[in-house]
Structure 1
Amino acid sequence: MGASDNQRKSINLEEPVGFDDAITLTGYGKFHYECLVACAICVVTLGFQNGITSYIFPAAQCELGLESSQLGFLNVAFLIGGMSSSFFWGILADAKGRKYVLMTSLLLDASITLLLSVCNNVICLTICRFLNGFLMGAPGSIIFSYAGEFQPPKLLSGIICAAGLFFTSSWLLLPILAWAILPLNVHFTIGSWFIISPWRLYLIFIAIPEGILGLWFIRLPESPKYLLAVGKAEEALDILRNIFAANSGKDPDDYPVKKLSTNETIVKEDYSKDYGTLEKAIRILQEVWNQIKCLFKSPLLYMTFLTCTIMFTNMFGVFGLGLWLPELFIRFQRYAELHPNETISVSKLATLSVVKNQTCDATFDLSVIQNTVFMGITSLITSGFCGYISTKVSIKTVPFVCMLMGGLASTSIYWLRSATQNVIVACIFQASMIVANMSLSGVVVELFPTNVGGIAICLVMFIGRMGAMTSNIVFGLLMDKHCEIPIFAVAINVLLGTLLCWFIPTSKTKEKSRKTSSIDRRAIEISLVTMPEIKTENTEVS
């Protein structure tokens, strides 16, 4: 699908063309579809690595004799890995390029996941999960930027929202894969260390598409917007010509743009010079630090504190209780089997860890997988519905309502008396908290000016991962002693986050932006640019 004649007439092709106009003139077709499929699969693999522990570790816990506290620390290892790389991958992507970072991290992570599948002790598992978290920080930080930099401006926001739905879909695909693989009767050893069992086979199936995707990125081009930003305008133009040819079926030389404007930079002019990789990374790191300092000065200090705190409470719930819900399903199911005539309560579940159960089975209960499938379907439907609603209401409405529903759902878990009630409440909690998490990212983008928007997202997600890590430590230490305590801790945190959502500045919401917010935003941007620490605009750090 080529660019229309009207688009060409509205652009002066005799002068250097800006990037937004240049990417629009490539049309929309075969190349963009291939790029979007690759990025969508990347988002799905990112979701896989975030949620995989809920399905493999109950079986691994049985096979390897792990305590619940050890499972908690395995989740924490993944989160620490993600935290430690929160800013690293953004810096490296600005120094080496988006494609290089995505390709390298995906191939390495696939290798680590394969290694994880043959681990036979908790130390090996912990190291591998830390490396998984560290490496997954790359696509988590970069894939949305990479996908967005190939899109014409009018489609950018829609494409990014669609990509978010693929993350949600991964939470549906994970239990479906578990449903197909974990019940298999596959148990054999090769030598004294290589063991194949269903949960290990499950990991291999997760690693294969990730490795294929890493190889796929070798075929895809570097982001032309990044190349233009670092002073490689001719390379960027060559890529745009090839995109035009792939979309239109014409010769690359028929691409109407002959020269790109170099006025639209996303990094300092100094970065386009021929610095070495280390020096370039140091210079970018210095600007990252300058931007972070801006977040803790007026007029952004209030918004930084507010969004970081809300994200902490959200991820304390969604990646704390959310990852332990399958374990709760297992314990509800086991208690009902062992005590068919007794009333179930959360306070009675602490004595039913997998290790303490004498009938330990290293597979995964099918009814539990069915429950998590229901949770995935609910989350996907809710995400789609709220994505539509979010365009009609104030930007704080969706996170406020969803956090409130999540807080009430987590509170009610203590009074559940049946496995069916547990499933219903879990579906409400998971769906509402995932939607709140996605919408909070949109709040950050909306509230912060573009000068510091990228680094603001990195900082907010860093604090959010701290919340998730804290929650998993609490669950790991208390699930086998007083499992009602971490559940109430989640409820209190999420309800606190709900209260804070009410204080999100409405003057910066989408509802107000049509009238006044653009003026306020521009005023803040001007004030930031005039600060000595920030001299140019940088929107691509994350």
Structure 2
Amino acid sequence: MNNSKKTENNVENDTTTFDNAIRLTGYGKFHFELVVLCAVCILSVGFQNGLSSYVFPAAMCELGLGSSDIGNLNVSFLIGGIVSSFIWGVLADLSGRKKVIMWAHLVNFAITVVCAINPYYAMLMICRFLNGFLIGAPGSIIFSYLAEFQPPKLRGAVVCYCGLFFTMAWLVLPVTAFMVLPLSVNIQMDGLFILNSWRIFLIILVIPELIVGIWILRLPESPKFHMSKGNNKVTLEILRQMYAKNTGKSEDLYPVKNLINENKPEANNKVGVDGKSSRLLKKILIGIKGLFQGPLLPITLLTCAIMFSNMFGVFGLGLWLPEFFNRFQKFQEMFPNRTATIKDLALLKPNSAVSCSPSFDNSVIMNTVAMAIVSLIYNGVSGWLTSKVDMKIVPLVSMLLGGFSSLSIYWLTSSTQNLIVSCIFQASMVTANMTIGSVVVELFPTSVGALAICLIMCAGRIGAMLSNMFFGYFMDDHCEIPIFVVAIVVLLGGLLCFLIPKKNDKNDYIGGDSIEISVIANDSS
């Protein structure tokens, strides 16, 4: 009887693989708490990426900002994310995902609160750079942390479902702004600090970061991370805790006593961050070298190119869609008997007048909410499909849909058509962004998984910067040019998704997890 049960669970002599060991922990309270924590984390990341659309226009009058100043604030945020990309990946692969996520959130909360009450534009610039620098940690590593607790069959779907909360941030932001920003609040103290509605709004948005930073102390480090370090004893302790919390049974009843070492343990399990910048830089360079050589090179180039094209669209055209909507609506008001074209919109320059009392048109709120709801539905359906189809199908279809929808903007003639296309574009591109992250978790070995995700996110942020610069240069005179460029780049990224290997081809494609890719630990100096 016992032998048949072990055979059923694929456990022989109390020894099994890590993936099967995770499956045997069951699925219950532990995973539910983990998913909620990661959802709040992703929500806070979404706030940081989207708050500029609401905070800075409200701050323009008080701080005397122009459009170029707001552009500089956005670029500062993106540069911070690019600068920190590899640092967080190396730290996460060396010292663990949990520590990096915790400290990044707590420090970012403190910095944002300090900057929210200071009266100087220069400090706001520094704040946005540091926000981008710090939020890059949970923004990429959280998916590794979440996925490494999941059984293989649910891994992609859970990551995709949690991605809903990045989209949820776009639903919460305009509603919160609508309630907070019109408030009449003005508290000052001898030029030391100032507090008004947009600053209160900024503080409210970082409260989830404080919650995550404290809450994550309850949860363990990723068991897969410990296993990649050769710490099978610690890995089993975590798995037993998961089993007990999920099933309500004693830890001693967990059937797995030993794990099969699928990865070659790192040469030095105790390698850590010694605080020396030269040492950390060396580890970053060694880690990147490992991703760009041998069997990992093709998948590194492929995933970087796909994420570049995705973020070129979603954080390029995606940020300019409201402007297209406003121009369509303005054109129809000025010329009610004339059909608008994209070229006609170039005649309508943004209004330079700035209001000191920020208000929000109900139509703008409704359009933003509509796009968020469609994105949530699309993301939810995609999460369900992820567990039933090959992992490349969802990003492939989403990227192609995003590319064709962006191309169709050239032929739009009304704000209503623009809203429909905007909903399709945002929903498909955001979902593709999340599922590309889950693909990376599947394709790269654990010892460089976090670094790999940070690398492709860096490539994506570079794409986002270039796209914004492109739109800023051409939008007022030749807005059809960036539309076609975005469509071509996104469609090419979608076609590249055809090259993503199937799960059962993983070992042939990148050499499998048995390959010695722990290049950081192999540094003998």
Bucket of the pairwise TM-score, normalised by the shorter protein:
0.7 to 0.9
Aligned equivalents of 1:24 and 1:388: distance in 2?
19
Shift in CA distance, 429/61, structure 1 to aligned 2, threshold 3 Å: farther
Aligned equivalents of 2:261 and 2:275: distance in 1?
26
1:42-441 to 2 correspondences below 5 Å? 42-182=41-181, 184-193=182-191, 194-252=193-251, 254-256=252-254, 259-261=257-259, 263-265=261-263, 268=266, 270-273=267-270, 277=274, 284-285=283-284, 287-294=286-293, 304-329=300-325, 345-350=344-349, 352-353=350-351, 356-357=352-353, 361-388=357-384, 398-399=394-395, 401-413=397-409, 416-441=412-437
Task: Give 1:374 deviation, angstroms.
Answer: 0.8
Q: CA deviation digits over 1:152-173, x for unaligned, max 9? A: 3343233222222222222222
- Is residue 472 of structure 1 aligned with residue 445 of structure 2? no
Aligned equivalents of 1:249 and 1:449: distance in 2?
32
- Read off the aligned partner of 2:186 and give its amino acid letter: F
Task: Give 1:92 deviation, angstroms.
Answer: 0.9
The question of whether the paired residues in 2 share the 8 Å contact of 1:89 and 1:101 is answered with: yes
The question of whether the paired residues in 1 share the 8 Å contact of 2:226 and 2:234 is answered with: yes
Aligned equivalents of 1:106 and 1:406: distance in 2?
32
Q: CA deviation digits over 1:346-374, x for unaligned, max 9? A: 21332x33xx2265542333321221111
Indicate the residue corresponding to 1:496 in structure 2.
489
The question of whether the paired residues in 1 share the 8 Å contact of 2:47 and 2:169 is answered with: yes
Q: Which runs of 5+ in 1 are unaligned?
A: none
Shift in CA distance, 165/267, structure 1 to aligned 2, threshold 3 Å: farther
Aligned equivalents of 1:262 and 1:529: distance in 2?
11
Aligned equivalents of 2:222 and 2:450: distance in 1?
17
Q: CA deviation digits over 1:17-65, x for unaligned, max 9? A: 5444444443332222212211111111112211221222222234333
Percent identity (aligned): 47
Aligned equivalents of 2:185 and 2:258: distance in 1?
60
The question of whether the paired residues in 1 share the 8 Å contact of 2:116 and 2:203 is answered with: yes
Aligned equivalents of 1:292 and 1:503: distance in 2?
19
Comparing 521-530 with 150-159, greater Cα deviation is found at: 521-530
Aligned equivalents of 1:62 and 1:420: distance in 2?
31
1:458 aligned residue (440, 454, 459)? 454
Q: CA deviation digits over 1:372-403, x for unaligned, max 9? A: 11110111122233444566777666545544
Shift in CA distance, 243/8, structure 1 to aligned 2, threshold 3 Å: farther
The question of whether the paired residues in 2 share the 8 Å contact of 1:400 and 1:498 is answered with: no
Indicate the residue corresponding to 1:32 in structure 2.
31
SS in 2 for 1:221: coil
Shift in CA distance, 227/120, structure 1 to aligned 2, threshold 3 Å: same
Task: Give 1:210 deviation, angstroms.
Answer: 1.4
Aligned equivalents of 1:239 and 1:401: distance in 2?
37
Task: Give 1:465 deviation, angstroms.
Answer: 0.7
Aligned equivalents of 2:386 and 2:481: distance in 1?
29
The question of whether the paired residues in 2 share the 8 Å contact of 1:168 and 1:380 is answered with: yes
TM-score scaled by length of structure 1: 0.81
Shift in CA distance, 364/329, structure 1 to aligned 2, threshold 3 Å: farther
SS in 1 for 2:347: helix
SS in 1 for 2:117: coil
Shift in CA distance, 499/213, structure 1 to aligned 2, threshold 3 Å: closer
RMSD after superposition: 3.7
Aligned equivalents of 1:349 and 1:310: distance in 2?
34
Task: Give 1:288 deviation, angstroms.
Answer: 1.0
Shift in CA distance, 404/505, structure 1 to aligned 2, threshold 3 Å: closer
Aligned equivalents of 1:450 and 1:221: distance in 2?
17
Shift in CA distance, 227/527, structure 1 to aligned 2, threshold 3 Å: closer
Shift in CA distance, 156/8, structure 1 to aligned 2, threshold 3 Å: farther
Shift in CA distance, 490/70, structure 1 to aligned 2, threshold 3 Å: farther
Aligned equivalents of 1:311 and 1:67: distance in 2?
31
TM-score scaled by length of structure 2: 0.83
Aligned equivalents of 2:322 and 2:72: distance in 1?
17
SS in 2 for 1:87: helix
SS in 2 for 1:138: helix
SS in 1 for 2:41: helix
Shift in CA distance, 383/266, structure 1 to aligned 2, threshold 3 Å: farther
Shift in CA distance, 316/258, structure 1 to aligned 2, threshold 3 Å: closer
- Read off the aligned partner of 1:522 and give its amino acid letter: N
